[in-house]
Amino acid sequence: MIVVLLKSFLTLLGSCSTLHVGLLVGLNHVMMVDAFAFTAVRSTSRYRCNVGSNCSNRCSASSSSTRTYSSVVEESDICIIGGGISGLTAAITCATQLKQTQNINIHVIEANEFVGGRVRSTTTEDGYILDHGFAVFIEEYPNSKALFDYEDLKLKQFDPGAIIVINDSNGNGESVQLARVADPLRQPSKLFDALLTPVGTIQDKIRLIPLFIHVKTNSVERLFLQHSSDSQHQNQYQNTLSLLQNKYKFSDKMIQEFFTPFLQGIYLCPLDQQSSNMFHFVFKMFADGVVSLPERGMQSVPNHLYDRATKLGVKFHFNHVVTDLSSHENEIENNDKNQKRSFCVALHPKNNQQPSKTILINTKSIICATESTQAKKLLSTFNHDNKSSSSSSCHDDNGAHSDNVDSGGKLLKTLKDQPQYKVGCMYYAFQGEAPIQDPVLILNGEHTPSRKRKPINN
């Protein structure tokens, strides 16, 4: 089987939005690996692939191979493409849950020399730790609690609330002021700050009360259950912007000054393209928990997962790129007759395409834990072993035909790329004392025309 973890962002860390979802685009048994639920289960449905019996891409060093490689051949039960947060989570999930019942061999392929993907930090010569891109660690995420040792990360917490940069009251758009948005439930001494802040209107502050009550009195499971069973919610509030405007009646001023910079810093896309189902979940995470940063930078997060994975016996291939994926109807047998390999993954060292450097991994299952655009590119090279045709079809146990699988990744091609802002992190220095001493998030809520909008969001 092949599982694709369609990840647009990193819900786990709070630097983005959606759940990581396992999607079957392969054959054999189905094992859904959901990086959000951290479960690995087998489906009761089984698929068989209707391809020819002749194999043109046999991943084996035997004389029956029709393609000759000067290469190293390795055996694996699960091969994970991508060593970012999703790939590391999938490796730990599979190793933890499946190794309890069987001895499995897991390989992770990463094109870079480090794990974490976009979650990375650099230390300067004078000792400053600079994270690549804006990211914070949301401690309340249930799966973060289950996956990480917070003491090992040495988390440093931000104060609840935020400081908002807004236009000055003169309204000419040329000068700004810093306004504090406080959480009086956790900081009672900040009650007057919360009431008197110029962010939004007095009515907006009153409208926050039912929102806080809703997320504080409902569990995460109940919040999602309510949305899935509420047809009015699904039809009327199709995105976060419509939810804020039509259900909670927040003013445009409140949406522009607070919700836009706050949520776009998490989702990296406009409010009208964010899921309203996810809004209450994210708001609950901030209302119930705290936001923090690891003492050694965000790189500590993937490093922590890497340490866990290696202790569980997961093998990593760094600085290697996948150049070919192949499947075989006649499964390759290892010395252990019960361990059959259905797929082959061909690797080359990054920036080095010499055939002598090829690594071939025979594997029973593949998990593609990359960005969806990269997953499409990888699966476009996917070859079934059929000399007469490059495509294949699948049937379920009842004989029903399915076109969900083909050598070009037809299913992935039908999925639209999710909109996402380009994001970076700019660091600067100046002589003198920092203008803000408190450990607090700062959001840009200025009212400016789009053509003059400043690039800093938070």
CB-based burial, 84-93: b 16+ in 10 Å, e otherwise? bbbbbbbbbb
pLDDT at site 40: 29
Give, in degrees to the nearest 5, the angle at Cα 300 between 122 and 307. 125
The structure tokens listed for 317 are 């291939």
Q: Is residue 48 within 8 Å of residue 395, measured between CB atoms? A: yes
Q: How far apart are the C-alpha atoms of 143 and 86, rounded to whole Å?
A: 12
pLDDT at site 275: 87
Give the pLDDT of the chain (458 residues) as one tens digit per residue: 667 665 433 333 333 322 222 332 322 222 333 333 222 222 222 222 322 333 334 444 433 334 444 678 999 999 999 999 999 999 999 999 887 777 889 999 999 999 999 899 999 998 999 998 778 999 999 989 999 999 999 999 999 999 999 887 665 556 788 899 988 888 888 888 788 899 999 999 999 999 999 999 999 999 988 876 666 656 677 799 999 999 999 999 999 999 999 998 888 888 998 988 899 999 999 999 999 999 999 999 999 999 999 999 999 999 999 988 887 654 444 455 444 568 899 998 887 655 557 899 999 999 999 987 888 888 776 665 444 333 333 333 333 333 334 444 566 666 676 666 677 788 888 899 988 889 999 999 887 665 566 667 77
Residue 106: which of 426, 378, 366 has the closest Cα? 366
pTM: 0.77
- Bridge-based pairing state of the strands 401-402 and 394-395: antiparallel
Q: Is residue 265 within 8 Å of residue 443, measured between CB atoms? A: yes
The end-to-end CA distance of the chain, in Å, is: 42
| 22 contacts: CB under 8 Å, gap ≥ 6 | 3, 4, 5, 31, 32, 33, 34, 35, 367
| 242 contacts: CB under 8 Å, gap ≥ 6 | 236, 272, 276
The structure tokens listed for 254 are 């409140």
Task: Region of 184 please: left (phi>0), alpha (psi -120 to 50) or beta.
Answer: alpha
To the nearest 10 degrees (0 to 180), the angle between helices 220-229 and 276-288 is: 160
List pLDDT tens digits, range 382-434.
665 444 333 333 333 333 333 334 444 566 666 676 666 677 788 888 899 98
Q: How far apart are the C-alpha atoms of 182 and 198, rounded to whole Å?
A: 12
- Bridge-based pairing state of the strands 382-384 and 394-395: unpaired
pLDDT at site 391: 35
